[in-house]
Structure 1
């Protein structure tokens, strides 16, 4: 493990990653345009103290999971991710399961989709990248533990059935579609332990999932019309389009509203205020 080079690499990437690149509000004036250490630590779900030690070349060797989370938090390219693992002296994660490294071009696209709430999921339905509007519309994904940042897990095991599909219409259709695609993914990645663990957990804890899983139904879908009640901006009429990311077995999910409609105005408001307190933002207008 090259602690000095690892620390310098992490610091360099942190200072070059803007808050909006990872779905965070820019906030107050910063000493540098990049992320703060506490923001990287939060995104990677590690302590600020441990991340600081890594940058200062004082930390213990990070695990494969921590390196993977740091690579995702800092939006590293495939080459940068491999370099990070090399510096830490850790073999890269096995390619036996769905990939979670998002192409730099797709990350750049997310940043520029200012009127579109968009996120990227892999074949397991893990949310692996998102823009600020998606965080404002659905939830602050950075605050969700990585192991629970999965749309299928959230759908079938959410404690409030009315909120399990983020309050959108078509929840039953989504459940059927998601289970079918998860079964297809299990076929493509038969040795992936995370898929096996997810299926086992859902099968034991959700009778609805178990029933759908036993049907052996495989279904695909790319466009849906959604009605959503957002707690801050009210009812939204949205188009949901799913676009494949070539060669990655990943999908870019985009939510848009008809230009000039009240729903479009609501999305634009959300894109400005982000995840801050909406009532306070509106009072200040």
Structure 2
């Protein structure tokens, strides 16, 4: 808890907000620049004395609910609210869920010719992909949209070519990541997925009950491709800012068997496109 930093941040942000910005009457001539302390306290639903002590840097530890209320009262951005949450030792707000694929991610996908890549949301739904992803995992377009979910494939045994040992490790990491996003149980989509997988897979239910927390950033995935054979891929996940989406792409170290196999898959994908 960084009380001094929080105090300074609150003071500067209060001075920045004009009464008209938050629907308050200017009330004639004001000696205070920005909002008055009692106005912030009233809008946030806390006592004036409590808010004054926060601005004085007293060693209080406001709850997550209070911090979010103060952020609303001061018209803070999501980044600013998350900054305050970090000062009091709370996790950041979950990024908003969006059904549409981020435009920047789509542009990036179209330019990634050499490596398989796709866009996933917080539920592990596949939202978009490039030609190399099709060459690696198959024709995703032919799969109904509601079924393009990598967690469902993993826990239903449809993740073809993955060894049992790797599947266990992937499952454990993905479940910890799903819980670690902080979207459960508030996000209806994530909540529904957890309920369905808990009913359908005893393995998922057991992993979920362990309450492990983790964030997937880099994973190793070993699989057997029907054309390219054995592949040992590094799976990287990059967060797409201001959304619950992530860009996932597969790479292999230059000069390795898998790297050469990916080049072969690319050539095959190009040939198939030319023959269409």
Task: Give the structure-1-normalised TM-score.
Answer: 0.57
1:59 alignment counterpart? none
Note if 1:223 corresponds to 2:222: no
1:174 alignment counterpart? 170
Q: Which has the larger radius of gyration?
A: 2
Shift of 1:276: 8.4
Deviation string for 1:6-35 (max 9, x for gaps)?
xxxxxxxxxxxxxxxxxxxxxxxxxxxxxx
1:270 alignment counterpart? 265
Which of 230, 250, 254 is the aligned partner of 1:255?
250
Deviation string for 1:23-82 (max 9, x for gaps)?
xxxxxxxxxxxxxxxxxxxxxxxxxxxxxxxxxxxxxxxxxxxxxxxxxxxxxxxxxxxx
Deviation string for 1:99-157 (max 9, x for gaps)?
23222221111111111111110001101111111111012111111111111111111
Shift of 1:166: 4.4
1:112 alignment counterpart? 111
Which of 177, 183, 202 is the aligned partner of 2:179?
183
Q: 1:219 to 1:189 in 2, by over 3 A?
A: closer
Q: 1:177 to 1:100 in 2, by over 3 A?
A: farther
What RMSD, in angstroms, separates the aligned Cα atoms of the two structures? 2.6
Q: What 5-or-longer segments of structure 2 have no aligned partner?
A: 1-94
Note if 1:237 corresponds to 2:232: yes
Instruction: Work out the CA distance in 1 between the residues paired with 2:208 and 2:189.
Output: 17
Shift of 1:275: 9.7
Instruction: Work out the CA distance in 2 between the residues paired with 1:275 and 1:175.
Output: 33
Instruction: Work out the CA distance in 1 between the residues paired with 2:227 and 2:173.
Output: 29
Please give the secondary structure, in 1, of the residue aligned with 2:212.
Answer: coil
Shift of 1:175: 0.7
Shift of 1:170: 2.5
Where in structure 1 do 4 or more consecutive aligned residues deviate above 3 Å? 189-193
Q: 1:166 to 1:97 in 2, by over 3 A?
A: farther
Q: 1:113 to 1:124 in 2, by over 3 A?
A: same
2:205 alignment counterpart? 210
Instruction: Work out the CA distance in 2 between the residues paired with 1:239 and 1:214.
Output: 28
Instruction: Work out the CA distance in 2 between the residues paired with 1:106 and 1:150.
Output: 18
1:122 alignment counterpart? 121
Q: 1:226 to 1:190 in 2, by over 3 A?
A: closer
Q: 1:183 to 1:221 in 2, by over 3 A?
A: closer
Instruction: Work out the CA distance in 2 between the residues paired with 1:222 and 1:147.
Output: 25
Contact 2:177 2:216 in 1 (8 A): no
1:131 alignment counterpart? 130
Instruction: Work out the CA distance in 2 between the residues paired with 1:257 and 1:217.
Output: 29
Q: What 5-or-longer segments of structure 1 have no aligned partner?
A: 1-95
Q: 1:178 to 1:225 in 2, by over 3 A?
A: closer
2:145 alignment counterpart? 146
Shift of 1:246: 1.1
